[in-house]
Structure 1
Amino acid sequence: MKDHLVKAVADGVRVYAAVTTDLVNEAIRRHDCYPVAAAALGRTMTGALLFAANLKNKEAVTITFDGHGPLGKVTADAVPEGFVRGAVGNPHVNLPLNAKGKIDVGGGVGADGMVTVTRFTGLRNPVTGSTALTDGEIADDLTKYLYDSEQTPSSVGLGVLVDPDFRCIGAGGFLLQPLPDATEETIGQLEDNLSHVQSVSHLVEQGLDAKGIIAELLRGFAVDYLTTTDLAFRCTCSKQRISEVLLSLGLNDLKSLVEDGKAEVVCHFCGERYAFTGEELQVLYEKAAAQR
């Protein structure tokens, strides 16, 4: 089953659901993530895709968790076209299972900090909001963010299952929001459904697609399934973009690289390596000098 996101509405409610197993495995491969990092990064990337789903094309969202835990910062960028990238500060964190016998994402992320959401909507300045973390488990923190910072009552569910070989065997998530015209009966039915639904990662492991997840969430509702978007891990880096970063360095730093005769730059978000020869660095140095 390819990664995908489905939008749907029912009487008084809208919901987005996503299956993200493949893109989480791509992030694990690129960053060499241990299970705690894989779960934290996978949940954050899935959450970013769900947040991006209500943006317009060419817009984007960045979500950053900084809970001062051993994982360091966990960040994901996503666009409504279905592409996401992400990074975690310390991918090799290894923690025992938590009291519930599950991967201790909260212990890895920490809860002494903030979650920050930045929406790039074509305005001159991006719109940024943040709120204090509750438990560092990602989903509850994003639910709280939407309520506190954007005054949007929501329920966010996120899950990543990792096997002993550090391979993701099920990942996905949902974002469910009552609409302004939702009745008390509708809200009560939603709360009852949420209290009985299995974790989203187990639903994906069992073979449910995004429509199947929505059907579980909206039992008893007449659901209108809208669009389906393919999802993938994709970074926006390129050698040209890295060259522009090098051009922004001071002349002394560039000259030092020229004297070294070569340089290798690694993208923080995807781990891609870009090699520059001495000749390429000399061209960049001369271009930077001419711009000063």
Structure 2
Amino acid sequence: MDKIIKTISENGAFRAYVLDCTETVRTAQQKHHTLASSTVALGRALIANQILAANQKGDSQVTLKIIGEGAFGHIISIADNKGNVKGYIQNTGLNLKKTANGQIIVGPLMGNGHFVVITDYGTGKPYTSTTPLISGEIGEDLAYYFTESEQTPSAIGLNVLLNDEDCVQVAGGFMLQALPNAAEADIARFEKRIQEMPSISSLLASENHIEALLAAVYGDDNYKRLAETELRFTCDCSRQRFTNALRTLAAAELRDMLKEDRGAEIVCQFCGQKYNFTEKDLEEIINDKTE
């Protein structure tokens, strides 16, 4: 079971989230048939958006757009604070590794671009905030977003580890934020700990990576566990939703579709689910529009 655990330091000066997103990213890889580099990039984006959404209250929904100018193209994800996330990457077929240690290449394939966060509070007026990509590694870009857009100094670590068959072995990460009442001495101590902590990859490779992440973040500082929420990759697409989309097309467009393709196949970008509409289905939609 994937989960996010929210914690706060005993003195109330820091908060940290730790996440296990293994099944979430594994499902994304299976649905989109991504190769190694594309899997890691998409997985990091999903983890990043689960962190963003966990910061929200009520029925808010967060859309994360990582708009890169490199080979990956764009990565789009939508998440809510109930643990649901979905997403896709434009180029699913990138599979590049550094020869020395087999490390997956991500940043150079993302290139320059923008980190765009759109928060929908359900009021009909979504709030959009954009920061530049500073590395394309996604974790660093999320930390920069928090610091620049939300004025919240943050440390982020997230990654996706693959097995010898390039399937998802483990995925997850952490976020640490200093709260307004944090003393300079405490901030300095936490900064030193983060700088000296093991790599996120080695922590995720631990037998119990959730506890390893918490121990690395807090060290000897006491903390409280505030909440634990399940996480999952899930898509709310449906045949009815795509039927409604077809109804928005002009009758002439539907007739061309009927004549040329004798039906229609619509594939959901977020999960790869295919919906087939027969000639009869299209005829019914056309008849409804012309009545």
Please classify the TM superposition score into its range, dividing by the shorter chain length: over 0.9
Aligned residue for 2:193, secondary structure, equals: helix
Alignment of 1:45-194 (within 5 A): 45-97=46-98, 102-110=103-111, 112-194=112-194
Q: Give the partner amino acid of 2:61.
A: A
Contact 2:134 2:140 in 1 (8 A): yes
CA distance in 2, matches of 1:150, 1:114: 16
Contact 1:170 1:202 in 2 (8 A): no
Give the structure 2 partner of residue 7 of structure 1: 6
My pick for the range that moved more, 255-264 or 163-172, is 255-264
Contact 1:24 1:171 in 2 (8 A): yes
Q: Give the partner amino acid of 1:253.
A: E
Q: CA deviation at 1:212?
A: 4.0
Per-residue CA deviations over 1:152-192 (Å, capped at 9, x if unaligned) read 21111111111231211111011111000001121112112
CA distance in 1, matches of 2:290, 2:5: 50
Contact 1:194 1:217 in 2 (8 A): yes
TM-score by length of 2: 0.94
Contact 2:98 2:104 in 1 (8 A): yes
Q: CA deviation at 1:89?
A: 0.4
Q: Give the partner amino acid of 2:75.
A: V
Contact 1:57 1:79 in 2 (8 A): no
Contact 1:19 1:172 in 2 (8 A): yes
Give the structure 2 partner of residue 281 of structure 1: 282
Aligned residue for 2:288, secondary structure, equals: helix
Q: Give the partner amino acid of 1:3.
A: D
Structure 2: stretches of 5+ with no match in the other structure: none
CA distance in 2, matches of 1:238, 1:57: 24
CA distance in 1, matches of 2:3, 2:31: 20
Q: CA deviation at 1:270?
A: 0.4
Contact 2:206 2:212 in 1 (8 A): no
CA distance in 2, matches of 1:23, 1:201: 18
Q: How many residues align?
A: 288
Give the structure 1 partner of residue 256 of structure 2: 256
Give the structure 1 partner of residue 35 of structure 2: 34
Q: CA deviation at 1:125?
A: 1.0
RMSD across aligned C-alpha pairs, in angstroms? 1.7
TM-score by length of 1: 0.93
Per-residue CA deviations over 1:196-220 (Å, capped at 9, x if unaligned) read 2223343233222535422320112
Contact 1:171 1:200 in 2 (8 A): no
Q: Percent identity?
A: 34
Aligned residue for 1:75, secondary structure, equals: strand
